[in-house]
Amino acid sequence: MTEEDDKLSLQEKAEQGDANAQYELGLLYYKGDGVSQDYTKAAEWFSKAAEQEYAYPQFMLGFMYFEGQGVSQDYTKAAKWFSKAAEQGYAGAQVLLANMYYKGQGVSQDYIKAAKWCGKAAEQGDAYAQSMLGFMYFEGQGVSQDYTKAAEWLSKAAEQGDADVQCLLGHMYYSGDGVPQDYTKAAEWYGKAAEQGDANAQFSLGLMYYNGHGVSQNYTKAAEWFGKAAEQGDKEAKDFLAKIDENGNSV
Q: What is the mean pLDDT of each run of 10 residues along the chain (251 residues)?
A: 64 92 95 93 97 95 98 98 98 98 98 98 97 96 95 95 95 94 97 97 97 95 95 94 74 54
Q: Which domain holds residue 173?
A: 164-251
* 28 in any annotated domain: no
| Distance from the Cα of residue 84 to its chain's centroid | 21
Q: Is there a domain that residue 199 lies in?
A: yes
In a domain, 224, yes or no: yes
Residue 145 lies in a domain: no
Return the CATH number at 195: 1.25.40.10
Please report the pLDDT score of residue 59 as a whole number: 98
pLDDT value of position 244 = 86
pTM for the full predicted model: 0.84
Do the domain assignments include residue 245? yes
For residue 132, being part of any structural domain is answered with no
Per-residue pLDDT tens digits for 198-225: 999 999 999 999 999 999 999 999 999 9
The total domain count for the chain is 1
pLDDT at 9: 87
Residue 42: inside a domain: no
pLDDT of residue 149: 95
Widest distance between CA atoms in the chain: 79
pLDDT at 34: 85
- In the prediction, which pLDDT does 76 show? 98
Give the per-residue pLDDT at 243. 86
Burial tier of 87 (Cβ tally within 10 Å: 0-12, 13-18, 19+) = middle
Structural domain includes residue 25: no
Inter-CA distances, 211 with 98, 216, 217, 249, Å: 41, 9, 6, 12
